[in-house]
Structure 1
Amino acid sequence: MKKVKITVLKTTFQEDLAKEYGIDDLGVCPILNEGEVYYGDWAKPEGFCDEAWKAIYQYVFALSHGVDNLFYYGDWIKKPGIAIVSCNDGLRPVIFKLETTDIESTSDD
């Protein structure tokens, strides 16, 4: 099993939805920042958002276990070993790039 590199590509904010449904002064995700990098496999990386992990872990798990073909029959991402995914916060979703690495996972990680 290999580690998967998790890069925070974008922190977004749906202003129109937040204005109607969100609390006052809601803004972009307060936990994750663009450019941050984490490494995961079967376990959530330290400091990573619990809710974001729930939304992306199945892709991390698949990539860490050697999925080397394209997800969804090649009609989503054009590069093998890559997934672009987001957390499930509809008002301030965070977009991630997941990519396979050659870093071996150990039970100590």
Structure 2
Amino acid sequence: MKKVKITILKTTLQDDLAKEYGIEGLSTCPLMSEGEIYYADYAKPEGFCDEAWKAIYQYVFALAHGVSEIWYYSDWIKTHGVAIVSCNDGLRPVIMKLEATDIEASPED
């Protein structure tokens, strides 16, 4: 099993939805910041948002176990070993890039 690099690409706020459904003063996710990098395999990286992990772990698991073909029907991502995903917060989703690496995972990590 290999480690998967997780890069936080964007923290967003859906202004129209936040105005209608969000609390006063809601802003982008306070738990993740653009440019942060994490490495994962079978377990959530330390400091990584629990809800974001629930939304992406299946892609991390697939990449960690060597999935190399283009995702689904080649109608999503053009680069092998990469997935662009988001957390499940509908008001302030965080967009992440997952990349397969050659870094060996170990149980001690």
Identify whether the pair has TM-score above 0.5, normalized to the shorter chain: yes
CA–CA separation in structure 2 for the residues paired with 1:103 and 1:18: 39
Q: Deviations over 1:5-51 (max 9, x none)?
A: 00000000001101110011110000000000000111000000000
Q: Deviations over 1:34-88 (max 9, x none)?
A: 0000001110000000000000000000000000101112111001000000000
User: What is the number of equivalent residue pairs in this alignment?
Assistant: 109
> Unpaired runs of 5+ in structure 1?
none
> Unpaired runs of 5+ in structure 2?
none
State the SS of the aligned residue for 2:72.
helix
- Read off the aligned partner of 2:62 and give its amino acid letter: A
Q: Does 1:9 align with 2:9?
A: yes
**Identity percentage of aligned residues:** 74
Name 1:65's counterpart in structure 2.
Answer: 65
Detail structure 1 runs of 4+ shifted over 2 Å in the superposition.
none
Name 2:99's counterpart in structure 1.
Answer: 99
Name 1:53's counterpart in structure 2.
Answer: 53
- Read off the aligned partner of 2:20 and give its amino acid letter: E
CA–CA separation in structure 2 for the residues paired with 1:106 and 1:31: 26
- Read off the aligned partner of 1:43 and give its amino acid letter: A
CA–CA separation in structure 2 for the residues paired with 1:73 and 1:92: 28
Name 2:22's counterpart in structure 1.
Answer: 22
